[in-house]
Structure 1
Amino acid sequence: MAEFEKEVAVLVQRVVRDISNAFKKNPNIDEIGIIPCPEPRYNRSPIVLIETKLGLESWCVKFLLPSLHRKLLLYRQRKNYLDREALVDVTVTLLLLNPDFTTAWNIRKELLQCGLLNPEKDLYLGKLALTRFPKSPETWIHRRWVILQFLQQCCAQKGCRKEQCEGYLCHTEAMGSSQNLCTHQAKLLHQEMSVCSEAAGRYPSNYNAWSHRIWVLQHIAKDNVEVFLEEFSSMRRWVSMHVSDHSGFHYRQFLLQALLTELCKAPHMSTAGTTLYQQGTTTTSPSARLTETRAAFGLDPSGTERQLGGGTIAQLFDLEMEFCSELIHSYPGHEALWCHRRQVVFLWHKWRRDHPHFPCNTNEGNGLHLSISKDNGQAFSSVEGSINGLPCGDAMEVDGPPDPCNAKQLKGGPLMSGSLALTAEHSFVSILLDDCGHSEQRRFALAYRKWLGNISRQ
């Protein structure tokens, strides 16, 4: 028995050393994995490194985990001594195999606070752990802790007064406004967005990843309208490729609400020409969709400053309803799309209730006539009443109600200028049902029409 334990100790020590050497050999490892192998077939290390992929043969995991757990617990109880290098190597190996072992993360927190560990290395380790365990809650919690430490250091290095640090985000006099962030914060934001996207792609409806993404925006990009706009535009592609992921659409609803909040704070504010992404990274020129969304906000891709107003908000809802309608037609039978449509309708009416006197059909000088349909120039009518206790506002004066037979007019859904046209929403559903042969699509459309009928009677 003693001989077996000695062999296991030698094996564990060897694997820990080989993993450490693998990172020294290739510091750009971007993915880890377990190689199915019930028992050792060759007298060689179970560590396999091919380019930027690190693999571990499965047969040794049952020996590694108990031994490393016991070693760290004895260290915490001060019954076993490990120097700084040994602690780093042991925690790296253990967290790659089990990132939800809180004790290991706490040890690394202590090393970080003592200045014995680089925060960037810890974020890198978490990123690797998430390639195998994309939902790991302890990993996401530790990332947020490291980011808070980084933001505190930014405030300290810039000599910010305590009242200038709000939510650990530094607003110095040199910045001029919250629209400008330092390069290090910009790089951190770009990195975290990339990590969240990768984790969300590896596990469907990854609530932990999307919650972390929201947290990062709230703490790093607070009050930065253009950063939220960049996210809102770039997320179109992701949700278009994951039309069943409710978490992705929930994140989009958060962005929509955040943009409404910021635009309502200063309806005639001007935005800074330099974006956070441009400061921190080198990106390609904006896509056609991003250009369209920027135009809706009165922003110019070249960085020209323009004024933002109520028409911006109306156009924002116009674009989102059009986008939602395109997805519903292209990908029938996905409940997440219909749930997202309901939420957009609710947000619009909530905003109209809270801002009854806010102008929402003004021409902001960007060439967009917000009350005119893009298809045929026919403005949509609206219905007086309330939705969930929220007033719809006054009905718009139009030439006539939307023609139920005009499928081209209604395919994109109603434009959101003025008050939401509930009749147009009913017509949109009716035309969709007339040409619908998909059973699930039909069921969701009927449920949506019932929802519209219920709120119109309240």
Structure 2
Amino acid sequence: MEDDKFALVEKIIKDINNVLSKSPDVYTFDIIPLDNNQQNKSPVLFLENCLGLESWCVKHVYMYCYSELIDKFCYKQKRHAKKFSTINSDRLVRLLNVILLLNPDIGTFWNKRRDIVQDMLLDKIYELHYSRLILSRKPKCNDAFAYRRWILDKIFQDESVSNIDSLVNDELNICELASDKCPNNYHSYCHRKWLVNNLKTVPKYTNMDSLYVKEYNFSERSTSKHVSDYSCFHYRQFCVKNILHLTSSSWKTLKSSLDIDLRKVMVRILAANFPKDTTVQASEENLIAYSEENLMNLLLAYTHRNCYCVVDFVHLCRKLEILFYELSINNELICFYKHHETLWYHRRFILHEIIVVMYDHFGLVRHNGALVKKMCKMCNNIDIRQKQNKIVRYDSNRIYSSVLFQAVITHEIRFINDRRDDGDNYADRHQKYLKFVEGLNSVL
């Protein structure tokens, strides 16, 4: 009876590996709930590139594979053996293929696959397909994502690889499928972030700007679908910082892909919250027609600087345009989806970045809760550096009296009061954050 069980397990292992070897397009795997083998046939199911295994045999197959792997391939005296014979490696791969499909959260077995890849007994592209199969069932498997990163790093270091664009697109699609299948997928977004950062060091990949634009648009779609997924919003923040470094041509591509006038969005928010005095006499239409330099001088109202560096008003204006676009989206989401803490956390990021833009422009930085002068790394003038030792009240007042700062604070006070009237308790928390974390208790 025991021999019959072992024979059945061996047949299951053989059937699964036959599917994996003969059907490279298989894209999903799952366990099919079934108490017993009622029809007396193989429990391995394969239909339309989908692989399945009936649940009644999972325990027997798993224990059989695990015991053999531990006894024969992970024994203490053999752990440091790096070379595998052809026969042993073939058997090892067949067992690993099955046991990792059933339980991919065992780092020891992933390390065994790494050893086999190092000995060039497994193809790297095949390993990407195999780990994708595992993620179809376990979309939050950190070991599978870590293995993919290891494989991709090997591929990117290979100078003979020419299909990097295809690999990148496949990887992005896998991350999207994993995050859609299982929301709050921290591992998926971390893997996506790693991929974008790592591509900066790949000489053959020259489409970083287009990738930044593509990822920013993707993050907008994702955040609109998963309003409580902070992993998704954290990736959105990563994308926002990336697009601030776009070239002029890529910036035009971004604006056309968004199908919205970023300048109008920013001016609309500012014009509705300008100080109620004669500080700003330009209409909303006039502000849209302003050059970047004129608009920034109006909003920041400060021309004297502590250094001789030339201000890039175009880059400065683009920063504020994209941040106010984020603020407008956040306004709509919070009004439509009430009592979602993630949206308020994202709002903190937006306002912090807007405040940092002003600090950078005025040569200040917040350190240990207090504003201090920021040393300019570009200027080497000793006299200028000596003047930057202390911060006087005028240095902080020039920020608080700027049109941009007053408009942002007025907008936030109104928004907080409106949300408080709607019964959203996170509005009070947001106000406390602005007061005691951003240090705005004197103006709120």
The TM-score with structure 1 as length reference comes to 0.69
2:149 to 141, 144, 149: 144
Provide the residue aligned with 1:161 in structure 2: none
Q: Alpha-carbon deviations, 1:165-220, whole Å to 9, x = none?
A: xxxxxxxxxxxxxxxxxx62222222222111211222232211111111111101
1:346 and 2:347 matched: no
Q: Distance in 2 between matches of 1:88 and 1:19?
A: 12
Q: Write the letter of the residue equivalent to 2:31.
A: I
Q: Write the letter of the residue equivalent to 1:227.
A: L
Q: Distance in 2 between matches of 1:389 and 1:187?
A: 49
Say whether the 8 Å CA contact 1:32–1:129 is kept in structure 2.
yes
Q: Distance in 1 between matches of 2:263 and 2:212?
A: 15
Structure with greater Cα Rg: 2
Provide the residue aligned with 1:196 in structure 2: 175
Q: Secondary structure at the match of 1:54?
A: strand
Moved over 6 A (4+): 272-275, 293-296
Q: Alpha-carbon deviations, 1:147-181, whole Å to 9, x = none?
A: 11011113xx48xxxxxxxxxxxxxxxxxxxxxxx
Provide the residue aligned with 1:216 in structure 2: 195
Superposed, which structure 2 residues align to 1:91-110 within 5 Å? 91-110=96-115
Q: Alpha-carbon deviations, 1:66-103, whole Å to 9, x = none?
A: 11112222123359984443333221111111112223
Q: Per the alignment, do residues 420 and 341 of structure 1 end up closer, same or farther by CA in structure 2, a change over 3 Å counting?
A: farther
Indicate the RMSD between aligned Cα atoms, in angstroms.
3.4
Q: Distance in 2 between matches of 1:392 and 1:289?
A: 39
Q: Per the alignment, do residues 308 and 125 of structure 1 end up closer, same or farther by CA in structure 2, a change over 3 Å counting?
A: farther
Q: Secondary structure at the match of 1:456?
A: coil
Please identify which structure carries the higher helix content: 2
Q: Per the alignment, do residues 355 and 68 of structure 1 end up closer, same or farther by CA in structure 2, a change over 3 Å counting?
A: farther
Q: Write the letter of the residue equivalent to 1:348.
A: I
Deviation, structure 1 residue 451: 2.8
1:428 and 2:409 matched: no
Q: Per the alignment, do residues 392 and 207 of structure 1 end up closer, same or farther by CA in structure 2, a change over 3 Å counting?
A: farther
Superposed, which structure 2 residues align to 1:284-363 within 5 Å? 290-292=258-260, 309-356=315-362
Say whether the 8 Å CA contact 2:73–2:92 is kept in structure 1.
no
Q: Distance in 2 between matches of 1:100 and 1:19?
A: 19
Q: Write the letter of the residue equivalent to 1:447.
A: R
Q: Distance in 1 between matches of 2:397 and 2:213?
A: 26
Q: Alpha-carbon deviations, 1:274-312, whole Å to 9, x = none?
A: 99xxxxxxxxxx99753448999xxxxxxxxxx962211
Say whether the 8 Å CA contact 1:333–1:444 is kept in structure 2.
yes
Say whether the 8 Å CA contact 2:12–2:44 is kept in structure 1.
yes
Provide the residue aligned with 2:280 in structure 1: none
1:57 and 2:59 matched: no
Q: Distance in 1 between matches of 2:261 and 2:22?
A: 45
Gaps of 5+ in 2: 265-312, 372-395
Deviation, structure 1 residue 59: 0.9
Aligned length: 354
Superposed, which structure 2 residues align to 1:90-239 within 5 Å? 90-154=95-159, 157=160, 184-221=163-200, 224-239=208-223
Provide the residue aligned with 1:41 in structure 2: 38
Say whether the 8 Å CA contact 1:426–1:452 is kept in structure 2.
no
Provide the residue aligned with 1:257 in structure 2: 241
The TM-score with structure 2 as length reference comes to 0.71
Q: Write the letter of the residue equivalent to 2:182.
A: Y
Q: Distance in 2 between matches of 1:235 and 1:8?
A: 50
Q: Secondary structure at the match of 1:332?
A: coil
Provide the residue aligned with 2:429 in structure 1: 447
Say whether the 8 Å CA contact 1:185–1:220 is kept in structure 2.
no
> Which stretch of the first structure deviates more once superposed, 71-80 or 209-218?
71-80
Percent identity over the alignment is: 29
Say whether the 8 Å CA contact 2:262–2:321 is kept in structure 1.
no
Q: Distance in 2 between matches of 1:109 and 1:65?
A: 21
Q: Distance in 1 between matches of 2:116 and 2:397?
A: 57
Deviation, structure 1 residue 427: 0.7
Q: Secondary structure at the match of 1:421?
A: helix
Say whether the 8 Å CA contact 2:32–2:54 is kept in structure 1.
yes
Deviation, structure 1 residue 315: 0.6
